[in-house]
Each structure stands twice: as structure tokens, then as C-alpha cells.
Structure 1
Amino acid sequence: MRFILTLGVAGLALSPPSQAAELELKAPGIDDTILVSLPENHDPAKSWPAVFNYHGFNGRPNTKSTREHTGTSDWIVVGMGYTQPGKYQLQEEDIAAELKAFRHVRDELARSQGLDSKRVYVSGYSKGGWMSDALLQAEPSLRGGAILMGGHIPTPLKNPAPLSKDSHIFIGIGRKDPNYIPSLKALVHYRGLGLPTSFEAWPELGHDFPPEGSTGLREWFTLQNGGKPDDRALEMEFKKLLTLPPAEAWLALADFKERPFCNTPESPWPETISTAQTKLEEDPPAARESKIHRSHRQLLGREVMMRTLDDLRQIDAGYMKLAATSSDSPQNATIQLDHRRILAVLEQARAVPVPTPQPKPSPTRPKPPNDKLDFPTNPLIR
């Protein structure tokens, strides 16, 4: 069943339906129709977690993909529109407008459909991933969010809102996506705040979402709703990974270790996986892959934190050396991919003309130009 409701100052124009349905809402400041997918077990007299989903550039409000990851029960899924559709720079006034629309829809659904205001999440794909990051920095009532195919930009707000320590973050990104480094910046930012943050990279994808969906995102939604890991399934998968050749098993376990189900409080899995990897490192090829993996992660960490042209040159040299010494490793293709990204940034830096210092009307000699590279932030452009 589908109902069209209008959100205005006075509230809903129609009484809430007595059974679960998909609602269409109109909200002030948003031209697109907002979609609300209610769970199949919905009862407006009860309390329900909700996730507000923000679509990508040139998209339309939708709930389908997010609903596929929450499951059909329990969650209210909202397909949001934007107050400023298309391309735009994220400034303080933009965030304020989006927050106003978000809060209006949230409060109306809390009043009429049982939305639990203490269990509200945001998620977004591409441009929506950047929007989720912005809202997580601006709305203290959020319980967490999923940043998909996006990344992190330091908020322009004068007083960013501190998230609750109970907030949880999920980050998903294609390994070949240009937003990969901004996604790592999001990982560093939210873990730096002490928030549990899951990270999933999709090995063969660029700026796309896995057509079969994300295992990690499904697990993350399960945990946010109080669900428990499927330990039996994890055990079966773990044993299967151990049947691979040692070097291949070590790399597969490195990804397995990042799964949300393996990182619940007091979970034995991190220690179990680390112990298995240490045992595998008794095999020389596996030990070599471990060393390459560690060196690669260190370079990525330096890339996330780099600030100057000198930093960039050192990272370039590091990638060049690692690519040469890992030519026969299955990790080499990804290392080469990351090195090409650094080379592109370095080439861009070289193309920026260094301004000629203007002589000052004083006997002091002008200082040479500072060897710093101004890295532009990522606007919400996709």
C-alpha cells in the first residue's frame, strides 16, 4: 500500500495508516518526494529504529538497496531528498538546510509511525556518503551512519556536534574508487573519536556498489538492531579460509578480521584470527605477504596524513620501492594502483606554478616560497 502524506507546519495531512506500507512524503525545502518504507511487522504504537538514506548524484530518493541490507523487518527506511540537489559545495548554510529537513521528517515519523528518535542512523551512496559524513558531524542525536562510496571532509561548522560514544560507523568503498583515500580519512576520523568503525573495501570495484550487496553492511545493520553474530557461520568460513595456501589464507584472514561480526565487544575473533595469521607466518611466502601488507598499510596511513610536497615525494619513493620488491606478490596490482594515484597527485602539484616572491621595500631578503602543497578538500560532487 502506498499513501501520499504532506509534511507541513501542522503535521501530517492524513491519519497514519493502520498497517505497514510505503509512504510518500512532501517536506518543506525538498522538491523530490521522500519515500518511507515501513517494516513488514510495523505497528505505529511500538518503537522502531530508522535509517535515512541519501542517494547519489543524479539519483532520486529510494529505499530499495538499504532495505535489502536491513532486512524486511524492524527498520523504518527513509529515502531522503536534498534541499540543494545536484552538485554543490558543502557550506555551513547547506548543512543547516539539510538538518532542518532531516529533523522535520524524523520528528513527524516519530509522532506518527513509532520512529525511535534515539535510534536514528544515516546512510548514503556516493554524494549521499559525503552527506552522511556531514550530518554525522552536525547532528548529535544520530546513533551512527554508513558512509558508502564517499569520504570525510572536516565540517565547516563553528561548533561540530559530538556524537555519542554509543555511535557506530560503517564505511564501504571500491578499492579502485577515487574516493578510497577520503574513505580512509573517514576511518581515521571516526576511530580517532573512539567510535567503533567498520571498514569494507570491495576489491574489484571503482565508484560502484557491489551488485550482490555488502556482507559487512548487512552484519552492521544486524548489530545495530541488537542482533548477534552467527558464530557457526563464522566458524565455517574461518575453517574454509584455512584450507587455502598459507600466503593466500593470510591475506583472506586480513579481510575477514575487519568484518563487523568479528569485532563485537568481547569477541574472541580478533585474537583467534591474529593467532592463526601468526601460525601461517611460519610459512616463508605467507611471512613475506604479511610484511608487504604491513608496509602497504603504513604507506596508506602516511598518504592519509600527508600535508606537504615533501611528504608526497617520500610516499612516492616508498611506493616505488614497495612495487619493485613485491613484483611477484598478489598485492602488487593494488600497490601499483595506489602508486599511480600518488604519481597523478605529484604531477598535478608540479603543474601548479610557484609564485615569484615580490621584493619588499626593505633591506631584508625575501624568503623563498614555502614547499607546501595545498590539497583541495572533496566537495559533494557525486
Structure 2
Amino acid sequence: MKPTLTIITALLPVPVLSMRVFLIFALWPVLAAADWKAGAEQELRTPHLPKPARVFLPENWTPTQAWPAIFFYPWTRGQADVAMMRAHTGGRDFIIVGMPPRDDAVFNYTPEAVAIEQTALREMRDRLAAEVRLDAGRVFVAGFSKGGWLSALLLAHEPGLAGGCVMGGGWVHHQHAVPQKFRSPVYVYVGTGRLDGNFPPSLRASQEFARLGARVTFDAWPDTGHALPEGGIATGLRQWLALIARGTAVRDEASRWAEEEWKRIAGLNDPVVQWYELRRLGTRPFVRTLGTEWAGRVEVKQAELLRRPVVAAEAALDRQLAAILDREIQDVSVKTLEVVGPRYEELARRAPDSPTGRLAQHHAELIKSLWATVLGGKPRAAPIVK
């Protein structure tokens, strides 16, 4: 076909040939977009990617409007993945881009590592904006574990992002540049297992992004280590994404969910567990979007439970644990470890059978493991993170 096309175009008058070339270039994005299908995924490569990315178009995608996008970065030894975010979006509302890893190692933070990921993100963003109507003003980054650490760095240093999901990762100390305050609304979800060794830096990430002006949701998954909650679904993340995509249109769904959760918590027999569950309920995205009425409802019930001595005692222990944890996450140094380690151990000894005492013992064990990452009394200049 190529020789035939060459002969035909060579015989065309110059004005006609010019118009033909113009039409080819003008129609190219439309023709390329026609190869894409809603609800399907395909591979796509750009110059600064080590391997092809996987791109999923939502089931309700059409080329007549612009679409928000999630760029997902995988865990150590993971591959370009769209499945995790598809499970949380229900396959709708978001273009999902599974970005490939550069290697199978843990993430070794350097300025160059962040810079090349910024370049790759921009290239893919611009190409998808041209081909499938990706909305460049509504780009989110997300990742788990290794990808969570990278997502936090991109959020801190890549201008123009609408937000992101930092899961199983956290805030890197001693970054190559001072993150600047956000100039427009940025929405950040930080999710982590409560028993994850990365819980402290995840908590720090939630605080740092709040200081930068982001609207932060911090979601600690109970009884969970370095993994998603049982079943592979984080309810808080699913709610957060629904609100990002559809806003107040989810209010009825949020109200129904909150009522069902309220009934479940009311049926719990242990008042201490009930108090913890109510506190968590108040932080859920669906409950927060319902406003002051639900916030007041939760607070009144918590106050009622706090009048019970067993709950008041647990709440006091919880405040002590929070104070130690807040001291720990300010830095990673020998001095800090020397201070907080014994304090965790002392709290665990005083309340060995309480939920807080068990968490304190867990943190004491984490502190012991952190000693192996400290060299010569100073934190690593370029921390290696999972």
C-alpha cells in the first residue's frame, strides 16, 4: 500500500496535497482515540518508561468529555497494575494508568529517581490527554508500598497534581528540595495497616501534606500489616474515590452506609471496642461528607461511652500512645529511638491486656528493628524504603 499511496499523493496538485496532509494530522488524535474502548485496557509506551504501561479506560468512558486519571505505582517486585485501583473505582469514572517499575528492588530514593518519574508521568499524561481526553487538571498519583513512597514524593514535588493515594508508604525525611505549599485544592488519601511497620511514616505523611495545605484523609486499617485489608478492599479508599469522582451525588449512598455502620457498632458488646469503632466512623469519607449532623451524632455517643470507667481508662492510655508516636515520627535518629523505645515498653508493661498496651508492645518491637537501619548515630542520607 505504501508505494500506491506515494504515487497517488505525488500526482495530486499542491493545494490538494497540502489539505490532505493537514487533514491527516488534524484527524490523527481522533483516529487514535477510535482504537480505544471503554472498559478495556491496553499497553502504551512513552520514551522514558522502561516497559509499557497498562492503561484502562472506565466502563462509562466516552470521547465527548475529559476524564480524571489515576497513575498507579506498584510494590516491590510488582508489575504495571490497574487491578487494585479498578477494584476500588468499580471500573468507572477514572482512567487508570499502571506505571511499570524500573527494577525489582526496593525504592532507593535519589533526586534523579524522582525526576525521571516526573518526566515519564508528564509524557504519559500529555499523550493520553491527546488520545483519550485525559483531564490534565485532574491527575492523581497512587501506589502501595514502594509505590506509596514514590507517590508521596511525586505529590510533594510534581506541580499541578490534583491529589493522590499513599498506601503502605510514607513521608521521606531529608528530601532533595523543600516541598512548597499547594496553590490549588489537593486531595490526599493516606492508607496503612495499623500493624504495618510503615505506619509511623504514613502518619507523618498525613501531617506533612496537611501542613502543605492538602485536604487529607488518614485511614488506618485495623488488625492489618503490610497489606490491604482482608478481601483486598479498603472501604475508606473506595468512598474517597467515589467522592472525588461524583461529589455530592453520592450523598444518599453515604447516608445509607453510615446508618448501616451505626447499627453495626451499636450492636457491639464491648464498650471499648465500640468507642474505637465510633472514632474511626467519624473519620470515614462518607461520614465526613454528611457534615455536622453526623459529626455531632458520633461525638455525643463517644462522650456517653467515655463516662464508663473502662472506656475512660483506655482513652487515657490511647492519648499516651499518641504522644509517644508523635515524638517518634518527627525524625529518625538515635536520640529519638532512645527516647521512644523505653516509653513504648513502659506503656506496654502497664497495660498488657488492653488494646493500647498491645499496640505499644508492637511499636516497641518496631523500634528494635529500626536500630538496624541507623548508621553511626545518624539516619541514612538516602533511606531505602519498601
Q: TM-score range by the shorter chain?
A: 0.7 to 0.9
Q: Which residue of 2 aligns with 1:367?
A: none
- Of the structure 1 ranges 286-295 and 201-210, higher mean CA displacement relative to structure 2 is found in 201-210
CA distance in 1, matches of 2:141, 2:279: 28
Amino acid at match of 1:27: T
Corresponding residue SS for 1:257: helix
Q: Which residue of 2 aligns with 1:112?
A: 131
- Identity between Structure 1 and Structure 2 (%): 33
CA distance in 2, matches of 1:155, 1:162: 17
The Cα offsets for residues 49-74 of structure 1, whole Å up to 9 and x where unpaired, read as: 11011111111101011011012222
**Residue 293 (str. 1) matches residue 318 (str. 2):** yes
- Equivalent in 185, 198, 210 of residue 229 of structure 2: 210
Offset, 1:137:
1.2
Equivalent residues, number: 351
Relative to structure 1, the CA distance from residue 376 to residue 258 in structure 2 (aligned partners, 3 Å threshold; closer, same or farther) is farther
Map 1:40-79; keep pairs closer than 5 Å: 40-79=59-98
Offset, 1:31:
2.6
8 Å Cα contact 1:49/1:76 also seen in 2: yes
- Equivalent in 278, 291, 295 of residue 270 of structure 1: 295
**Residue 224 (str. 1) matches residue 244 (str. 2):** yes
CA distance in 1, matches of 2:177, 2:382: 19
CA distance in 2, matches of 1:150, 1:161: 20
Offset, 1:99:
0.9
8 Å Cα contact 2:163/2:187 also seen in 1: yes
Offset, 1:120:
0.8
Q: Which residue of 2 aligns with 1:184?
A: 203
Offset, 1:16:
1.5
Relative to structure 1, the CA distance from residue 83 to residue 161 in structure 2 (aligned partners, 3 Å threshold; closer, same or farther) is farther
- Equivalent in 100, 113, 117 of residue 81 of structure 1: 100
Offset, 1:118:
1.1
Amino acid at match of 1:181: P
Offset, 1:89:
2.5
Offset, 1:170:
0.8
Relative to structure 1, the CA distance from residue 159 to residue 288 in structure 2 (aligned partners, 3 Å threshold; closer, same or farther) is closer
Corresponding residue SS for 1:331: helix
State the Cα RMSD in Å.
2.5
Offset, 1:381:
4.2
For structure 2, the 5+ residue unaligned runs are: 1-27
Q: Which residue of 1 aligns with 2:112?
A: 93
Q: Which residue of 1 aligns with 2:14?
A: none
- Of the structure 1 ranges 181-190 and 147-156, higher mean CA displacement relative to structure 2 is found in 147-156
- Equivalent in 276, 280, 293 of residue 255 of structure 1: 280
Q: Which residue of 2 aligns with 1:374?
A: 378
**Residue 132 (str. 1) matches residue 136 (str. 2):** no
8 Å Cα contact 1:140/1:164 also seen in 2: no
Relative to structure 1, the CA distance from residue 344 to residue 256 in structure 2 (aligned partners, 3 Å threshold; closer, same or farther) is same
Q: Which residue of 2 aligns with 1:360?
A: none
Map 1:276-315; keep pairs closer than 5 Å: 276-306=301-331, 309-315=334-340
**Residue 170 (str. 1) matches residue 189 (str. 2):** yes
Structure whose residues are more often helix by fraction: 2
Q: Which residue of 2 aligns with 1:8?
A: none
**Residue 16 (str. 1) matches residue 33 (str. 2):** yes
Relative to structure 1, the CA distance from residue 28 to residue 222 in structure 2 (aligned partners, 3 Å threshold; closer, same or farther) is same
CA distance in 2, matches of 1:258, 1:378: 34
The Cα offsets for residues 179-229 of structure 1, whole Å up to 9 and x where unpaired, read as: 121111111211222322112222333222234210011011011113334
Amino acid at match of 1:312: L
Amino acid at match of 1:288: A
The Cα offsets for residues 233-282 of structure 1, whole Å up to 9 and x where unpaired, read as: 20221232133232221111122222122223844333332221111011
Relative to structure 1, the CA distance from residue 265 to residue 375 in structure 2 (aligned partners, 3 Å threshold; closer, same or farther) is farther
Corresponding residue SS for 1:46: coil
- Of the structure 1 ranges 149-158 and 28-37, higher mean CA displacement relative to structure 2 is found in 149-158
Relative to structure 1, the CA distance from residue 207 to residue 378 in structure 2 (aligned partners, 3 Å threshold; closer, same or farther) is farther
Quick check: which has more Rg, 1 or 2? 2
Corresponding residue SS for 2:32: coil
Q: TM-score, normalised by structure 1?
A: 0.84
CA distance in 1, matches of 2:385, 2:114: 15
Corresponding residue SS for 2:263: helix
